[in-house]
Amino acid sequence: MAEIRIENLRHSYMANPRGEDDYALKRLSLTWQDGGAYALLGPSGCGKTTLLNLISGLLTPTVGTISFNGRDVSRASPEERNIAQVFQFPVIYDTMTVYDNLAFPLRNRGVPEPDIKSRVGEIAEMLELTKTLSKRASGLTADGKQKISLGRGLVRSDVNVIMFDEPLTVIDPHLKWQLRSKLKELHLKTKRTMIYVTHDQTEALTFADQVVVMNLGEVVQSGTPVELFEKPQHTFVGHFIGSPGMNVLPCEVRGGQALYGGQAVATGNAPAASGKGRVELGVRPEFVSVAASGIPADVVRVSDAGRYRIVEARSHGHTIKLLLKEGDRVPEGKTFLAFDPSHTQVYEDGWMAGSRR
Amino acid sequence: MTKIENNRAWWLVLPVFLMVAFNALLPLMTVVNYSVQETFGNNEFFWSGTTWFQQLLHDDQFHDSLKRQIVFTAVILAIEIPLGLAIALCMPRSGRWVSVCLVLLALPLLVPWNVVGSMWNIMALPDIGLLGKGLNALGIPYNYTRQPISAWFTVVLMDVWHWTSLVVLLCYAGLVAIPDAYYQAAKVDGAKPWAVFRYIQLPKLKHVLTIAILLRFMDSFMIYTEVIVLTGGGPGSTTKFLSIDLVQKALGGFDLGPAAAFSIVYFLIILFLSWLFYTLMMREEAK
C-alpha cells in the first residue's frame, strides 16, 4: 500500500509532440492518500485510461514523475510497481480453473503453495466464488469472469494500488449494482488504495471518497461527491455531474453584483469576479424554486422523472430547469423563479470566479 | 425456454445440398460403381463384389505407399506447425514491416504447384543447381535422383518452403486478434514470456491451429504434382506416395476397378483421420 504522488505528469502518444494538442494528458499533479477510494470520472477520450495506464506502468510518461511512498516509479515496469489492474473486458486464462486463475499472480511470484491455498480460499470466499473454484474459468458468465479478474487483483496482499478501468461495462444492469456494492464492501474490508475509472457518474459517486473529474486531458476538479455537486469548479463539472445538469446562464457582473437579464441575483462569489471574459451564472436545478417574485419565466414543459418532476422554463431567451418534489404545486404559465444564493455561482470562461485560476 | 421446431428451414439448406450433390456425391457414386465391377472395355461391366477391396487390403505396394504417406505427413506437420507458429510469433504487429512480411510470406503460396516442382527440380540438380551443387561443394554427398535420403530431404524441404507460409498467416491472424488487455493483465500478474505463450497465446490460437493442422494434413496427404515433377516417385519407389500410386494404377494400368476401390479407401482414410484430429483437438471444448 502506498501514497501515490503525481507531479507535472504529461503524456503524448506521439514520439515528438509539438503543440499542446498532441498531448493526451496535458499537465497533471495529484496526491492520493494510502487506503483511499478514488474515482477518475470523465467523458470518453478525456485521458483517464491514459492516466491509469501511466500509474500502472503499461505506459511511460513523456514528462513528469509518479512516485509511490516517495519512491520514483515513473519508469518501472508494472511488475516492479506491484499494482493490480482490472480491465474493461474480463481477462481470464481460459485453460485454467477458477482456482488456478486466482493463484496465477501468486505462482508467478513464487509464493509457496500452502500460502496460495489459504489466500485463494479467502478471496474466493469474499467474492462468492468458492463453489466454482474447481470449474474451468471459460465456462463462467461475464460477471463471474469479471469477479475472477477482480480476485486476481485482490489476491496479492501487498499490492500498492488496485485499479479498475470501467470494470462494469460488460455486466448486466441488475448485476452492476450488486458488483458495485461488492467493490465498496471490499474496499472497506481490505483498506487498499483503489482507483476506479469510469464515465458513469453514479458509479464514481457511489464508489469513491474522492472523485477526480477530467476533461480534454486535464483535471477539472478533484473533490468529494458533495463538493462536486454543490460547488462545481467548472461549468463542465456542473453539466457532467447531476441529472439534469447545472443551469448555465449568461450574466453580467457590475460592482460586485451579478445581474441576470438586468436583474440583481444574489450569489456566493460575485465580489470575486473580475467581470472579464465570458461571464456565466451557474445554479443546479435542485436549487431553483418557484417564488412569488424574482426572475420572470414561462413554464414550457413539465416532465415526470419518478420521484420528482423536471420543470423547464424560458426566461430572457434561456432555458432554466428546476426540480419539484412529489406533492409540490406544479406551476403553469407565467411565474417567478428564485435561486438559492449559497448554491449560485459566477463562472468566468467556464471556471468559478475567485477559484484557484 | 421452449424450442420452436420449424422444419421449413430445411428448404433453405436445399440449394447447398444440391450443389454438394452435383460436385461431390454424384462423381463419387461413379467411383463407387466402378469399385464393385470388372470391365474388359467395350463398356461392358460385370459385378465383382468386394474383390477389389480385398485385393487392395492385401496389396504390399499399397501398404508401402500408405506407410510412406503417413511418415511424410507426420514429418511435414512436425516441421511446419511449430515453425509457422514460431515465425508468426516473431513477426512485427504494427508498422510498415508488417506488409513486407505478409507479401514475402504469401509469395510461395501463389506459385503453381507444377512450377514449385520444376523450381526445386532445377535447384536441386547436383551439377548445376544451387542447392545440389552447394551441398556437394560442402562435401555432403547429395543426389536426389539416386539417394533416397536426398530425395526425401528435397521433397520435405520443398513442402516446408511451399506451405509453412499458410500456417504463419493463419497463426498471425490469430495472434493479432488477441486483445491487448490480455497482455497487459499478464504483465500486471507478473507472467513470464513462457507463461504468456502457454496460457494466453496458445489457448487463443487453438482454433486457428486446428484449421492449420487439418488443412496441412489433408493437402499433404494428397500431395501429387510437386513430387511427380521433382522425383517422379523415385529413386525406385522411395517417394511414391498414395496419390502417385493411385494414378499409376488408374492410368498406367488402366485398372479401373482396383483404382476405384483404392480411391474410396484413400478417401475414407482422409475422412477418418480428419475426424480424429478434429475430435482430439476440440475435446476440451466439450467439457
Q: Which tens digit of pLDDT belongs to each residue from B109-146?
A: 999 989 999 999 999 888 888 888 888 888 888 888 88
How far apart CA A274 and CA A252 sit, in angstroms, is 10
Q: Cβ(A217)–Cβ(A26) under 8 Å?
A: yes
Q: Which residues of A touch B286 (CB under 8 A)?
A: none
3-state helix, strand, coil in chain B (%, to 5): 75, 0, 25
Q: For A97, which DSSP code?
A: B
Task: Select the residue of A79, A96, A136 nearest B187 (Cβ to Cβ).
Answer: A79
Provide mean pLDDT across the span B189-215: 90
Determine which of A108, A156, A158 to mutate to test the interface with B (most B C-beta atoms within 10 Å): A108
Output the nine-digit C-alpha cell for B121.
527440380
Helix (H, G, I), strand (E, B) or coil at A303: strand
| A104, closest residue in chain B (CA to CA) | B189
Confidence of residue B80 (pLDDT cuts 50, 70, 90): very high
How far apart CA B19 and CA B96 sit, in angstroms, is 42
Interval A118-136: pLDDT, tens = 889 888 888 888 888 888 8
CB contact under 8 A, B200 and A104: no
Confidence of residue A69 (pLDDT cuts 50, 70, 90): confident
Output the nine-digit C-alpha cell for A90.
474480463
Q: Cβ(A48)–Cβ(A197) under 8 Å?
A: yes
Interval A269-315: pLDDT, tens = 878 887 778 888 899 999 998 888 888 889 988 888 888 889 999 98
Confidence of residue A1 (pLDDT cuts 50, 70, 90): low
Exposed e or buried b for every residue in A335-351, given b needs 16+ CB within 10 A? bbbbbeeebbbbbbebb
Counting every residue written for chain B, the total comes to: 287
Confidence of residue B287 (pLDDT cuts 50, 70, 90): very low
Helix (H, G, I), strand (E, B) or coil at B9: helix
Q: For B24, which DSSP code?
A: I
Chain B contact for A222, CB < 8 A?
no
CB contact under 8 A, A96 and B184: no
Output the nine-digit C-alpha cell for B12.
433453405
Q: Cβ(A72)–Cβ(A65) under 8 Å?
A: yes
Q: Is the pLDDT of residue B166 over 90?
A: yes
Chain B contact for A84, CB < 8 A?
yes
Q: What is the pLDDT of residue B220?
A: 92
CB contact under 8 A, A108 and B200: no
Q: What is the pLDDT of residue B35?
A: 85
Q: What is the pLDDT of residue A306?
A: 82
State what percent of residues in chain A have pLDDT above 70: 99
State what percent of residues in chain A have pLDDT above 90: 3
Q: Cβ(A79)–Cβ(B187) under 8 Å?
A: yes
Task: Select the residue of B187, B195, B203 nearest A58 (Cβ to Cβ).
Answer: B187
Q: Which residues of A touch B209 (CB under 8 A)?
A: none
Interval A173-230: pLDDT, tens = 888 888 888 888 888 888 888 999 988 888 888 888 899 998 888 888 888 988 888 8
List helix spans (H) across chain A.
48-56, 78-81, 98-108, 113-127, 142-154, 173-190, 201-207, 225-230, 235-240
State what percent of residues in chain B have pLDDT above 70: 97
State what percent of residues in chain B have pLDDT above 90: 33
Q: What is the CA radius of gyration of chain A?
A: 24
Determine which of B178, B180, B189, B205 to mutate to test the interface with A (most A C-beta atoms within 10 Å): B189
Which residue carries 515433377 as its cell?
Answer: B229
Q: Mean pLDDT for chain A?
A: 86
| A84, closest residue in chain B (CA to CA) | B188
Output the nine-digit C-alpha cell for A48.
483517464
Which residue carries 510498415 as its cell?
Answer: B96
Burial of B241 (0-12, 13-18, 19+ CB in 10 A): buried
Q: Which range (B106-120, B148-162, B200-214, B255-269) has the least confidence?
A: B255-269
Q: Is the pLDDT of residue B1 over 60?
A: no
Output the nine-digit C-alpha cell for A315.
426566461
Interface predicted TM-score of the whole assembly (ipTM), two decimals: 0.75
Q: Which residues of A touch B191 (CB under 8 A)?
A: 104, 108
Q: Which range (A85-99, B165-179, B249-263) has the least confidence?
A: B249-263
Q: Which range (A141-150, A155-164, A270-279, B272-281) has the least confidence?
A: A270-279
Q: What is the pLDDT of residue A356?
A: 56
CB contact under 8 A, A91 and B192: no
- Most confident residue range from A18-22, A147-151, B79-83: B79-83
CB contact under 8 A, B190 and A91: no
Q: What is the pLDDT of residue B3?
A: 65
